[in-house]
Chains A and B, each alone.
Chain A
Amino acid sequence: MTYHWNWGVYLEQVSSGDETYLDWIISALGWTAAVSMSAWIIALIFGALIGTLRTTPNRWLVAVGNVWVEGFRNVPLLVQLFLWFFVVPEFLPTELSRWVKQDMPAKEFFTATICLGLFTSARVAEQVRAGIQSLPRGQKMAGLAMGFTLAQTYRYVLLPMAFRIVIPPLTSEFMNIIKNSAVAFAIGLMELTFISRQMIEESGQVFESLLAATILYTVCAFAANRVMTIIEKRTRVPGYIAGAK
């Protein structure tokens, strides 16, 4: 191995401008965080909604939920991203299509966020469904027997417990969404993976570049893990499931 390490590379100027590689990495971290957080919000909203629909007694609502989950879960993430980026605009009216393709601001960011959010929503939906179904059937019956409507039973009896139960698997999804955001480099979003590749090209320091990206992904995923753990502790019901200790 004749690799020449150069740990000072982060503070060197990039070949094409005044900024340093460190400035690049910081701005890339910003994009990674922005895509992950926005996509996570979309995933939680749609995931909770679709997961709940799949447990209702209405056949049509269940069917909508099934199609949603199986569609987003069975198509590879990178393929979905290319469908959103390259294929969907072709079906828009000519003027709108041209605007989306050429003039829309931050189009890579919005495309990546929607794609990642909907992809993850299918996985969140499955976990929410599992959470609801893990509750004893008697809880739903008790809610209805008390005179609650179905919606009220979900709102006041089932969902508050189901969400608490699924916090641990949701933590994994939150960490996954940060790591999955790396696919956005494929449509040219200047996030961590993109910048580490560009840094390899311009500085020739392969390992330093990849190491920076690796460490930052790890730190972000771990931070997500800690935040979810805090939420888990704050929301636990004494004497029930996670609150038992």
Chain B
Amino acid sequence: MISRSALVMTTLLGTLLASGVEAQTLEGTLKKIKDSGAVTLGIRESSIPLSYLDANQKPVGYHIDICNRIVDAIKVKLALPNLKVNTQPVTSQNRIPLVTNGTVDLECGSTTNNAARQNQVAFAPTTYVTTVRMAVKKSSGINSLAQLDGKPVATTTGTTSVQLMRAHEKGKSVNFKEVYGKDHADSFLMLASDRAVAFVMDDNLLAGLIATSPAPNDYAVVGEPLSVEPIAIMFRKDDPQFKGLVHSAVRDLIKSGEVEKLYTKWFTQPIPPKNANLNLPMSDALKGALKTPNDAPAEQYNKK
């Protein structure tokens, strides 16, 4: 009896000690996930092919796949094989508040990593580099930004493209007549209905809009890049433990060649919902970012 109760005591003590140690070491987001038994992913509804809803309204995409791999790493780290994964749709206006206030643990969308945002949030190593260019109707014969002088050019409100266009006008002393759509679909409609002769936006989004439009062959993505921007998964700032896990998980995916495989799957093969192919081979900028994984902001990509 004595020996048995001693055994029970030892086991209990051992468990207490172990959990005590773990409770001490876990903090921030990892503690929150462990305590609640759930992790919440922020998803976008139409950021093709990074993060969007398929025909069954299920979130899919390149960044969703990468986030799921990070969630696997969290499961291992916390020894929670049945961790519940919630998704929360976010927009470009609410994604930062939802991450900072704890609603969303990992934002798996199409967020540009720039210096202003690094004041509020942290980023995983860059997994996509977008080039801001323009979509035009092939029949217009436009292939350079200089040809847009005095012409209406569309872009979407609340995006970095708006400021890029203004900066370009100032630098090159050309004058666009900007028109603004409230979302990418509206801006594309402006191009389609001749309200604008060009639509300036991230190349992957333009390719996605063209591929899913009724007449994909009428449009082309052309012109010199206005900017190059690193796109990354976003999470809460000042949380070294979670940051360490996310960074090492993404780094492992990059090193193992998994990211390259996922890139091929989403950018150069037919994807849902319409089985369109974006035909966007990996850019040199992204190859560089994958060679030495980092979370450098956009400002370092556009140094002149």
Q: Which residues of A contact B (CB under 8 A)?
A: 1-4, 6, 14-17, 86, 90, 98, 101-102, 108, 185-188, 194, 197-198, 200-204, 206-207
Contacts and interface: CB of A to CB of B under 8 A. Distances in A.
Category for how many chain B residues contact A: 35 or more
Contact of A204 (B116, B152, B177, B238): B116
Contacts of A90: 193
A185 B157 contact: yes
Nearest to B150: A103
B96 A204 contact: yes
Nearest to B186: A186
A56 to B, nearest CB: 41
A201 B193 CA distance: 27
B194 A188 contact: no
Given A2-B238, A101-B194, A204-B120, A194 B93 contact: no
A101 B119 contact: no
Interface of B: 92-94, 96-97, 100-102, 114, 116-117, 119-120, 151-152, 157-160, 162-164, 166-167, 170, 177-182, 186, 189, 193-197, 236-238
Q: Which of A2, A6, A207 has the most CB of B within 10 A?
A: A2
Q: Which of A86, A108, A188, A207 has the most CB of B within 10 A?
A: A188
A3 B163 contact: no
Nearest to A207: B97
Given A4-B120, A90-B193, A16 B157 contact: no
Contacts of B158: 197-198, 200-201
Contact of B164 (A16, A86, A101, A204): A16
B166 A17 contact: yes
Contacts of B120: 2-4, 204
B275 to A, nearest CB: 29
Contacts of B178: 188
B97 A202 contact: no
8 contacts: A16-B164, A101-B152, A102-B196, A198-B157, A201-B158, A201-B160, A202-B116, A207-B97
A102 B151 contact: yes
Contacts of A14: 163
Q: Which of B117, B119, B180 has the most CB of A within 10 A?
A: B180
Contact of A101 (B94, B160, B195): B195
A3 B170 contact: no
A204 B119 contact: yes
